[in-house]
């Protein structure tokens, strides 16, 4: 059975500028975080590790702050990799190099290649 019908196309020739510039940045406002102080950095690490059974040695926390200078994103990525490389609930200097290497690779993948 053949169908016959008509189609009506309705549209606007010129799309308004607001509709032309669709970007993910319009979905949420930008949030700019300040760098954390050394004390704040240690506090974030300790609070994050609460009840995990994992402990970062003081030298590790010092190196984390020294390397990240309190940058929240860098702190998160580096501490995640340190945590992931921890052995029997303890993160020591033995885990520093492997975790730092993984962190630098992640920064490169995230478009932060100027670190490497």
User: Can you give the pLDDT at residue 3?
Assistant: 54
Q: Residue 102's Cα: distance from chain center in Å?
A: 14
List, in order, residues 6 or more apart from 68 with CB less than 8 Å away: 41, 74, 75, 78
How many Cβ atoms from other residues are within 10 Å of residue 95's Cβ?
Answer: 20
Residue-range definition of the domain harbouring residue 71: 33-111
Flag whether 18 is in a domain.
no
pLDDT at 68 over 90: yes
Does residue 1 sit within a domain? no
pLDDT digit string (tens) for 36-53? 999 999 999 999 999 899
Written as six digits, the tokens of 96 are 């520093």
Q: Is residue 27 part of a domain?
A: no
CATH classification of the domain holding 46: 1.10.8
Closest CA to 85 of 96, 74, 76: 96
Whether 28 is in a domain gets the answer no
Total domains in the fold of the chain: 1
């Amino acid at each position: 059975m053949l169908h016959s019908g008509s189609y009506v196309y309705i549209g606007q020739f010129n799309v308004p500028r607001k509709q032309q510039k669709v970007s993910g940045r319009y979905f949420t406002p930008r949030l700019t975080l300040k760098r954390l102080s050394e004390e704040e950095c240690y506090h974030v690490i300790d609070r994050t590790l609460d009840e995990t059974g994992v402990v970062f040695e003081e030298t590790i926390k010092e190196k984390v702050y020294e390397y990240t200078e309190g940058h929240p994103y860098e702190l998160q990525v580096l501490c995640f990799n340190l945590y992931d490389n921890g052995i029997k609930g303890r993160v020591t200097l033995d885990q520093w190099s492997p975790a730092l290497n993984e962190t630098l690779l992640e920064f490169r993948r995230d478009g932060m290649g100027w670190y490497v």
